[in-house]
A and B are shown apart, each in its own frame.
Chain A
Amino acid sequence: MNNVNNGIVISCRARLARNFDGYVFPARLDDEGGKAILKKTEDALARSGESFGTVKRADMSDLQAETLKELHLISDELLRGNKNAAVVVNKNNEICIMVNEEDHLREQCILSGNRLSEAYSRISAIDDIIASQNKFAFDKRLGYLTACPTNVGTGLRASALMFLPGLSMTNSLAGCVNAVSRFDMTVRGEYGEGSDSEGFLYQISNQKTLGISEDEIISSVSGAVNQIEKQEIVARNALLQSNEALLRDNIMRSYGILTNAYKLSFKEFTEKFAMVKLGVYYGFINCNDNAALGKMLDKFRPANMMTSAGKIMNENERDIYRAANVAAELKKITV
């Protein structure tokens, strides 16, 4: 059964790569051009009827940059690139436009849960608003022109962030990866290309952007995500049947550590928290606030945690702070 509350699909993202006609791509863009691109974007969004705020790369503190990166609102590429790079976001961070990254614009909508179609509809509407006031670099044959031809065509990258402990622990993930790769999709670690998977988090996204319509891309990624979700449920059942006592012991030990540790590194938190989430899924642990549980992973990432604590901490201080706050929060939302 397609259970939207099972926590398997954590979030969905639709991202469109766009470039303004008449300007070189950001890697070769001068100061004046970089500023012009940002102004065009801000002016267009001002007419969207929605409120947006801009954070320029040059004005970002290291902590702010890292915090935004942890939330997937900006990329490493943006931090390394053009000095006029910026991010323009709406109030709830669901619509986020990276400016002067690899392309002039990376328009993205990130929504929690399994809502890829909605994410695409929303970002497509924003794209229409920007396009109505500007001319994008577009070729009738190749579609939207991008700095790297791997994005040319629709410029659309549709992805879902999935929590897949069942498939990982039953060593069934390779089969899934092979299956989706046959449909021009790819499975990566949470932070995209080259990133490792921590806490059983995987990103499923399309590879092909040309010769396929946006609706087909959304439909095929959604189809793959639904299939993987079903397989994950099958794997979780198999895991339970193979050795429930061992699984339950592992989960409850993880819960014990998270609610009692004095120091907790982010790595250890990620590993143990994944087991606790699995425990909530199986009903071994009762959770009275699934929304708060879903937000805990991001909340205790190093930069996000320091931002909400309002102070810079060294690693040792962070681990002590994390342990105390994770324990308090878990005790509050679980029984």
Chain B
Amino acid sequence: MAEIRMCDECGIRPAVYYTTTVINGVANERYLCEICKNKHGFIKPDIPFFDSLFEAFGVPVAERENVRRNDVCPTCGCSASNYLKTGFLGCPDCYKTFDKLILDSVSKIQKDTKHIGKSPDKFYSPEEAKYNDLLRRREEAVAVEDYKLAAKINEEMKKLRQPPAQGGQKNE
């Protein structure tokens, strides 16, 4: 699976356009999403003739990296290309249709791919509940500037998170 490059400007949306400018012999590459591209005046005029010219300047990143832009979600009709352009999905099923594509971008945006919080049918494991209680108590200690207590609570929290509490949330 090709790696999805995020926008150099905002860092949160997938880059769709690529530009190179050469200043004093030094090439400067820019990868931009649809929104940031427009924000910076790199606007695609609505003239058919301009399409090819525009493509010459701004080659879509996904195309360059062989992403299957024609994949379409059977539920809502959203295409991979549309997601790459806008950063938005059409429906919850898009997460299944474009799973690899989304996981790639999610891991870059969120620096993580595993939810560990609340769920609609959640209940916390005793460890998770205790950890959350310690979090609140540490916050209260910091608020009243009792750093000694906060450090003590912090140590207890560290012990609870060894090994890391990935999946500490129990949904089953």
Contacts and interface: CB of A to CB of B under 8 A. Distances in A.
A193 to B, nearest CB: 9
A211 B113 contact: yes
Instruction: Name the interface size band of chain B.
Output: 35 or more
A2 B139 contact: no
A217 to B, nearest CB: 8
Interface stretch (A20-28, A65-73, A326-334): A20-28
B115 A2 contact: no
Nearest to A142: B115
Contacts of B102: 149
Nearest to A134: B120
B145 A1 contact: yes
Interface string A11-49: 000000001010111011000000000000000000000
Contacts of B142: 223, 226
Nearest to A124: B118
Interface in A124-169: 124, 127, 131, 135-145, 147-150, 152-154, 156
A238 to B, nearest CB: 20
A144 B109 CA distance: 16
Contact of B135 (A23, A135, A216): A216
Contacts of A23: 91
A304 interface: no
Interface string B140-172: 001111000000000000000000000001010
A153 B91 contact: no
A127 B75 CA distance: 26
B119 to A, nearest CB: 6
Contact of A131 (B116, B120, B169): B120
A298 interface: no
A226 B89 contact: no
B5 interface: no
Contacts of B87: 148-150
A215 interface: yes
Given A28-B78, A28-B91, A140-B171, A211 B115 contact: yes
B67 interface: no
A192 to B, nearest CB: 13
Interface in B34-81: 75-78
A124 B124 CA distance: 14
Of the listed residues A117, A148, A149, A207, the one surrounded by the most CB atoms of chain B closer than 10 A to its CB is: A149
Contacts of A124: 118
B106 A152 contact: yes
Given A131-B120, A210-B115, A212-B117, 17 more contacts: A2-B143, A24-B75, A27-B88, A137-B92, A141-B115, A143-B117, A149-B109, A149-B110, A152-B106, A153-B110, A156-B117, A184-B111, A210-B106, A213-B132, A215-B131, A222-B139, A223-B139
Interface of A: 1-2, 19, 21, 23-25, 27-28, 102, 117, 124, 127, 131, 135-145, 147-150, 152-154, 156, 184, 207-216, 218-219, 222-223, 226
Sorted nearest first, the 4 A-B pairs with minimum C-beta distance are: A211-B112, A143-B115, A137-B92, A24-B91
21 contacts: A2-B145, A19-B92, A27-B90, A102-B88, A117-B136, A137-B92, A138-B119, A141-B114, A142-B95, A142-B115, A145-B92, A150-B109, A153-B117, A154-B115, A184-B111, A207-B12, A210-B112, A214-B118, A219-B135, A219-B138, A226-B143
